[in-house]
Amino acid sequence: MIPEILYEDNHLIVVNKPPGMLVHGDKTGDPTLEEAVKAWIKEKYQKPGNVFARAVHRLDRPVSGAVLIGKTSKGHTRMAKLFRDREVDKVYWALTARCPSPAAGAVRQFLTKDNEDNVVSWHDEPVPDSKEAFTEYRLLGEVNGLFLIELHPQTGRSHQLRVLMRSKRCPIAGDLKYNGRKISSPHAILLHARELSFEHPVKQERIHIIAPLPDLPEWKGAE
């Protein structure tokens, strides 16, 4: 079954990924978002043979929210270039048990990844094999005893936002890998890809997408 569709045209489709679902296949062999979209397109449009549907970016498995998928190779290639050129505005929401200090700011870090353990470390200065990450953030308020943080990543590094909040001593709730507190779902962390905005690469019009929050008790009342 395909997750909620937020936008669709001849070239692109944006879906609201639930927490716990893979975007791409991995060694688990579990069902993926790409597979679900392909099956849905094939059935809806009665397409024979193979169907093209390729995610332009990805979200970590426990993260929810908007994922943009190319329905054509042209759409995928052009959107991938917009992401690489940082011409896609991305907004994430996170819930944390502690309030960041200061309550708003812009943070530049240099990240290194341990691929064996799938853990990312942060550094204040460049180190060998590090990648620069830049994020703006601000406190929006409180929800169910947690702090609602809005995050604007300017880069797209692995675990960028998760590591940022850990470095601010306010890890994302549910993110046990980075010292977050437990939540109601063992398959989720309370990080949600809330908005995507971009100039459509074919239609040449501005697209703005908002992804509704997951049905988890911690998110109740946040919208």
Summarised one tens digit per residue, pLDDT across range 71-97 is 999 999 999 999 999 999 999 999 999
* Distance (Å, whole) CA 90 – CA 132: 17
- Residues 6 or more apart in contact with residue 37 via CB below 8 angstroms: 2, 13, 15, 53, 69
Residue 6 has pLDDT above 90, yes or no: yes
Q: What is the pLDDT of residue 27?
A: 83
With bands split at pLDDT 50, 70 and 90, how would you rate the model's confidence at 35? very high
Positions marked active-site: 60
- Phi-psi label, residue 194: left if phi above 0, alpha if psi -120 to 50, beta otherwise: alpha
Which CATH topology does 4-219 take? Pseudouridine synthase (3.30.2350)
Q: What are 90-128's pLDDT values in tens digits?
A: 999 999 999 999 999 999 999 999 988 899 999 999 999
By three-state DSSP, how is residue 87 classified? coil
pLDDT in tens, 165-216: 999 999 999 999 999 999 999 999 999 999 999 999 999 999 999 999 999 9
Q: Which amino acid, one-letter code, is at 85?
A: D
The answer on pLDDT for 162 being more than 90 is yes
* DSSP conformational letter for 181: P
Name the 3-class secondary structure at 126.
coil
CB proximity list for 18: less than 8 A, separation 6 or greater: 3, 64, 214
Please name the amino acid found at residue 54.
R
Tokens found for residue 12: 């692109």
Query: Residue written as tokens 């971009």?
Result: 198
| Confidence grade of residue 25 (pLDDT, cut at 50, 70, 90) | confident
Read off the pLDDT of residues 8-23 as tens digits, 9 standing for 90 and up.
Answer: 999 999 999 999 999 9
Contact by Cβ (8 Å): 40, 69: no
Burial 191-209 (b: 16+ CB within 10 A, else e): bbbbbbebebbeeeeebeb
